[in-house]
Structures are given as structure tokens and as C-alpha cells.
Amino acid sequence: MSERIIPVVDQRSSLILPAPAKLQAGTTLKDQLQRPLHDLRISVTDRCNFRCSYCMPKEVFHKDYPYLPHSDLLTFEEITRTAKVFVALGVRKIRLTGGEPLLRKNIEVLIAQLAALRTPDGQALDITLTTNGSLLARKAQALKDAGLQRITVSLDGLDDSIFRQMNDVDFPVNEVLAGIEAAQAAGLSHIKVNMVVKRGTNDHEILPMARHFQGSGVTLRFIEYMDVGATNGWRMDEVLPSAQVISRIQAALPLVPLAAAAAGETAQRWGYANAKGQYDPQLGEVGVISSVTQAFCRDCNRARLSTEGQLYLCLFASQGYDLRSLIRSHLSDEEMVAQVAAIWQGRSDRYSELRSSLPPDASQTPARPRVEMSYIGG
Ligand code: SAM
Ligand code: SF4
Ligand code: SF4
């Protein structure tokens, strides 16, 4: 059997920092494409207890994979200080992710620290977390008590054998469903479930998932399988376009389009319709995230902080900016703000928009291999 050779990018090299920006009070920070900075995604661990083949395929992420040593991780205090800098520059929403964020010990302590931050006009931040749900039944109440308001659970199907195959560690679907129920019981609101759709693998689970979550208070969102990282062997023919997801649901459960809830929202929303063909809030809604077939780079207001404090300006970036060195070099908060502002001002990333103009094999053999999603945070 021939062995698959997979390039794993050196995730530790970083970009040269630009000169710090001179910020004018009262102006909104914008990048080269006039996009503001609004969301910060923070990866709190590069480890995971699942091996979803589209994210951390087993043959790459095996027991000898060089995960980051603990001393390389940002501490909770360093994460909170970095978040504070981003809040000063416009960030209003923070998503904790990974790897599997609930594997990070005492994650609720970090949530409490972030929940205590305030915007310049005294508002609390919108704090959420994305999890595979495996530890959620145990942790939901502690997360809520620490100040988490919302949560997103990834779930790729209801059929137990399909789910076990997708997570590739034989994890049963019932435990994730119990986690979602525990999150509801703990009072976490706006619970979302994300399903990555891979044509030919779990696309027959679309309708059962839609039926299961209709009217449950949980918003189901379908994500197009993306060419992130360099290890998942992505192929365009395994992407099921969101338009087909919607038409498959609509054939059984009528849907009507809904307006975007917020600027820069990644999901297109569809509401379940009643017998009169009108949106019925009791039945709820579904969303589709069409990262491949309908790029939304023009509205992308997200920055990503890796587990070891590298700042990435795009999910498909090859290199980041080493903020950890800045924090550990005792820069003042004002100096950090000026430095991060200059980085954002120089941003021109729009990979998904450019993808369609790239040669067909460019996704899996990019000029510079991309960092993995488990490292940079989804
Ligand atoms: N472990 C957590 C989880 O699975 O929710 C958080 C990290 S995971 C990297 C964040 C999100 O990225 C998940 O919803 C996952 O399904 C999604 N994801 C990972 N690889 C993907 C890919 N190749 N295409 C689309 N979504 C992907
Ligand atoms: Fe782990 Fe989440 Fe990646 Fe699956 S998608 S391997 S659960 S980090
Ligand atoms: Fe944002 Fe990059 Fe995704 Fe475009 S490809 S939406 S710039 S993360």
C-alpha cells in the first residue's frame, strides 16, 4: 500500500510586524478592503478527542503528532489581556474554539475573565464557544455559571453509525444529544448546531437533522465542506452546494428566506413556514454557510488567535503575527493596541473569493501550505 504524503506546515514561523499605527480617536479601524474588526476567534487548544476526517485525519494527527507543549500556550491571563486589546479596536464578539475547547483545563475560569471585560461604552461582550459536544453534558452548567451566553455544537448526523464514522473515534451520538439538552437545561440561549455536509458521506442526514431540530429552539446550520488546512484531502466533488441543501429540505419542509440578523453574518437564514406559507417562529429556522460556493470575504470582520498567540487574518492564511512575543516582551496595552491596529490596517485577505480563479488542484497544493483549522480555530 502506498503511503499518503501530506505536507504539514510549520505553524510556528511568523510574519514581520508592521510599524505601529497612529490611531485617531473616534475613527473606526478598517482594513485594506474597508472591513472593520468585530469578531475574535480564540483557539484554546490544538488538541481534540475526535478525529473528524475533514479536520484532523487520523493518519496525520496520530499519537506522535507534535502538539504544542503546554508552555507554548497562551495563559488565561495572556488571552484576556489580548482580548482587551482587541476590544479597544472594535471587537464585540469572542468565540472560543480549538481543537476541542472543553479539553482545556478550567476553561470556565477563562470564560469568567472574558465575561468581565467591557467595551469602551461599558457593554458586556458577546461570548460564545464552539464544541464537539462530547464533554458538554458534564460542563454546560459550569460554562453558563461562568458567564457564557451562547454555544455552538458541531454534529454531523443523527445516525449513530454515520456519526461514529465521521468522528472516527467511535463516539456515540447520544452523548452529544445529551450535551445539547444539558446546554438547554442550563439556560444557554441561541444554541446552534453546525453540520458539515460531505456529499456521499452524510448528505442523507440533512433531512433527519432538519426534522429533529425543527421547533426545538436550536438553530441548525449546514456548512459547506471547506478546503481548510492541507491534510483533509479536500475535493470539490465532495462539496454539496448550500442551494441543494435548501432545496432538499424545502421538498419536505417549506422554508422562506429571512433577513440577516447582523452585519457580517456568515449564515444565510431560512425560516420554517406554516400552512399559510409564512415564517413561523415557533418552528424556528435553519442556516447555510456557503463558504465555498458563495464567498463572503467582503464582509469578513474576523481575526483568529491561535493556541500559542499567533494572529491570523484569514482561515486560509499560511502565517500569522506573533502576538505572544509582544505580550511576553512587556509592551504596554497602548503599544499593543497600536501594533494590532497596524496589522489589521494592512489586511487584504479574501481567499474564498479568489478560490474560483485558482487552478483546480491549488487547494490541496497551495504555494505555501495553510495552517490547520484545529490550530488556528474554526
Ligand atoms: N472541536 C470543536 C468543534 O468541532 O466544534 C471546535 C473546533 S472545530 C475546528 C470548529 C468548526 O469547524 C466545527 O463546526 C467543524 O465542523 C468545522 N470544520 C472543521 N473542518 C472543517 C472543514 N474542512 N470544512 C468545514 N467546516 C469544518
Ligand atoms: Fe475535533 Fe472539532 Fe476538528 Fe472534529 S472539527 S476533529 S471535533 S477540532
Ligand atoms: Fe474571511 Fe478568509 Fe474566509 Fe474570506 S476566506 S471569509 S477573508 S476567513
Q: What are the grid coordinates assigned to 59, written together?
A: 493518519
pLDDT tens-place string over residues 40-83: 999 999 999 999 999 999 999 999 999 999 999 999 999 999 99
Q: Is residue 9 part of a domain?
A: no
Q: Is residue 285 part of a domain?
A: yes
The closest of 137, 82, 142, 81 to 109, measured between CA atoms, is 142
Determine the distance separating the centroid of ligand 3 and the alpha carbon of 85, expressed in angstroms. 22
Determine the distance separating the centroid of ligand 3 and the alpha carbon of 353, expressed in angstroms. 8
Q: What are the grid coordinates assigned to 8, written together?
A: 504539514
Q: Strand, coil or helix: what is 182?
A: helix
Q: Are 150 and 194 in contact (CB under 8 A)?
A: no
* Residue among 302, 312, 354 whose CB has most ligand 3 atoms within 8 A, to mutate: 302
Contacts of residue 233, Cβ cutoff 8 Å, sequence gap at least 6: 4, 57, 364
Contacts of residue 190, Cβ cutoff 8 Å, sequence gap at least 6: 149, 150, 219
The answer, yes or no, to whether any atom of ligand 3 lies below 6 A from the CB of 300, is yes
- The CATH number of residue 36's host domain is 3.20.20.70
3-state helix, strand, coil in the chain (%, to 5): 30, 20, 50
Determine the distance separating the centroid of ligand 1 and the alpha carbon of 20, expressed in angstroms. 33
Residue 100 Cα: closest atom of ligand 2 = 8
- The pairing of strands 255-258 and 268-272 is antiparallel
The answer, yes or no, to whether any atom of ligand 2 lies below 6 A from the CB of 48, is yes
Instruction: Report DSSP letters for 137-180, one per residue.
Output: HHHHHHHHHHT--EEEEE---SSHHHHHHHHSS---HHHHHHHH
- Does the pTM surpass 0.85? The reply is yes
Domain range spanning residue 369?
A: 14-376
Q: Is residue 4 part of a domain?
A: no
The answer, yes or no, to whether any atom of ligand 2 lies below 6 A from the CB of 56, is yes
Separation between Cα atoms, residue 196 and residue 193, nearest integer Å: 10
pLDDT tens-place string over residues 90-122: 999 999 999 999 999 999 999 999 999 999 999
The answer, yes or no, to whether any atom of ligand 3 lies below 6 A from the CB of 315, is yes
Number of domains present in the structure of the chain: 1
pLDDT tens-place string over residues 188-226: 989 999 999 999 999 999 999 999 999 999 999 999 999
Q: Is residue 5 part of a domain?
A: no
Residue 166: its H or E element: helix 160-167
